[in-house]
Amino acid sequence: MVVTVVADVLGSENNGTTVACMNLIRFLKARGDTVRVVCCDEERRGEEGYYIVKKLSLGPALNAVIRKNCVSIAIPDKKVISEALEGCDAVHIMTPFMLARAALREAVKRNIPVTAGFHCQAENLTSHLMLMNSKLANKLVYKNFYNGFYKYVDAVHYPTQFIRDDFEKSVGHKTNGYVISNGVNEIFEKKPAEKPPELEGKFVILFIGRYAREKSHKVLVKAVAKSKYRDNIRLIFAGSGPRKREIDACVKKAGITPPVMEFFTRERLLEAINYSDLYCHPAEIELEGIACLEAISCGLVPVVSDSPRCATKYFAPDEKCIFKCNDSADLARKIDFWIENPALREEYSARCLASGVSVKQSVCMEAMRKMITETAEAKKRRLSREAGRYTLQSAAERSAALSEAADLRENSLNGVFASSDDSEYEKSSLLQ
């Protein structure tokens, strides 16, 4: 199978969308599929199977903001897109932006089956415009996503039922959706790990996520400041992103020990999960939260926000692991509870390991491949049926025309014998 993957956002694997995209690309290649990738990642120019388009430049100031968010904006190039689509069996598109929409238009023209991922909540965009909590702004973003993109694809991949329900309710339309988790890499499992010397004897709380407004790092900082055990708590914020300075300022104001703040490789992350004492996920906006599932896969007890715009709350074992959204005092109470109950924490760790809420990445990627192949086969059958109906219709029209001509000829011949007027016969002869 030849699959063209279109990614408006692709670069370093430091965000969920890029990680999900690269996981799919690697899996399809491992299964023997030919994968073509359309993106604007210049570092991949010249690599086999990569079709590179240019990046959008908005001037020094705005370009700096874009770089700060660790993303690039791709400019559609019809020639590059056409080359990538030539002879492919299916197209999978990661996000509904400019490059994606141009690729969709070309694929539709060529009757190529198109599947698309849903990896961007409306709030991921509106938060940059300080409109994250505007219901109208978020609804308009989803309407734009649907009317300009998802309405025309053959199938949609949703990482959770939560985000499928939220999107379909917002736009007022059902989609041909497949709910498939992005999956947890097989390396994430419980194993012995020693705390680094600087963390020995400390209660370590881990949070994995981009330094972005919607991830709510500051809620966790304020909660630690309110904890009875604040002096013994150490935070690890594994990630990167545009809000690091704001988090640093909040830490300074709260007067707590500065967190470890840096991007962790997968191997370091596995180690950190296994030596941490608690995982806190304060994010207000989250369409899945693979990081939380990675922690649970290692038996690390989670404490998550009950935000109505966050899917992660559904992974919590029970209410002891859920705090009120943006309520740092409530989160502090939950942290203190788990510090004071180490035996119960061990019990809940075992529950996490046995919960089955996380699905192995290989299983999820197999489901993704099945979605793409099923969609491609279904579209081929539909196009074949439509072609058959057209053929039958054309044959019926030809039969009707011949029948009409025969009737006309018979009537004309009768007229000839009656009137000896050859004009009708000559007319009917033209139809033979």
Domain positions in the chain:
2-183+362-383, 197-355
User: If we measure between CA atoms, which residue out of 376, 422, 365 comes closest to residue 20?
Assistant: 365
Contact 430, 409 (CB under 8 A): no
Angle at 290 between CA 22 and CA 205, to 5 degrees: 130
pLDDT(427) > 70: no
The CATH number for 197-355, chosen from 1.10.287.130, 3.90.550.10, 3.10.20.30, 3.40.50.2000, is 3.40.50.2000
Both structure tokens of 404: 């009409």
- Segment 160-173 shows an average pLDDT of 97
Instruction: Give the range among 203-207, 325-329, 393-397, 406-410 with minimum mean pLDDT.
Output: 406-410
What is the C-alpha radius of gyration for the chain, rounded to an integer number of angstroms? 29
The CATH number for 2-183+362-383, chosen from 3.40.50.2000, 3.40.50.720, 3.40.50.2300, 3.40.50.10800, is 3.40.50.2000
Strand order in the sheet with 155-158: 50-52, 34-39, 2-6, 90-93, 114-117, 155-158, 177-179
Both structure tokens of 49: 């199977």
- pLDDT (0 to 100) of residue 279: 98
- Segment 13-17 shows an average pLDDT of 83
User: If we measure between CA atoms, which residue out of 84, 72, 63, 83 comes closest to residue 40?
Assistant: 72
**Residue with the larger pLDDT of the pair 104 and 13:** 104
Q: State the amino acid at position 83 in one-letter form.
A: E
Residue 129: burial class (beta carbons within 10 Å; 0-12, 13-18, 19+): exposed
pTM for this predicted structure = 0.86
Confidence of residue 414 (pLDDT cuts 50, 70, 90): very low
- Segment 336-364 shows an average pLDDT of 95
Instruction: Name the region of 351 (left: φ>0; alpha: ψ -120 to 50; beta: rest).
Output: alpha
Confidence of residue 70 (pLDDT cuts 50, 70, 90): low
Instruction: Name the region of 411 (left: φ>0; alpha: ψ -120 to 50; beta: rest).
Output: alpha
- pLDDT (0 to 100) of residue 345: 98
Contact 349, 299 (CB under 8 A): yes
Mean pLDDT for all residues in the chain: 89
Distance from C-alpha of 359 to C-alpha of 381, rounded to nearest angstrom: 32
pLDDT(409) > 50: no
- Segment 3-25 shows an average pLDDT of 90
Whether 197-355 and 2-183+362-383 are alike in CATH topology: the answer is: yes
pLDDT(91) > 70: yes
- pLDDT (0 to 100) of residue 243: 92
Distance from C-alpha of 162 to C-alpha of 344, rounded to nearest angstrom: 29
**Residue with the larger pLDDT of the pair 22 and 65:** 22
pLDDT(116) > 70: yes
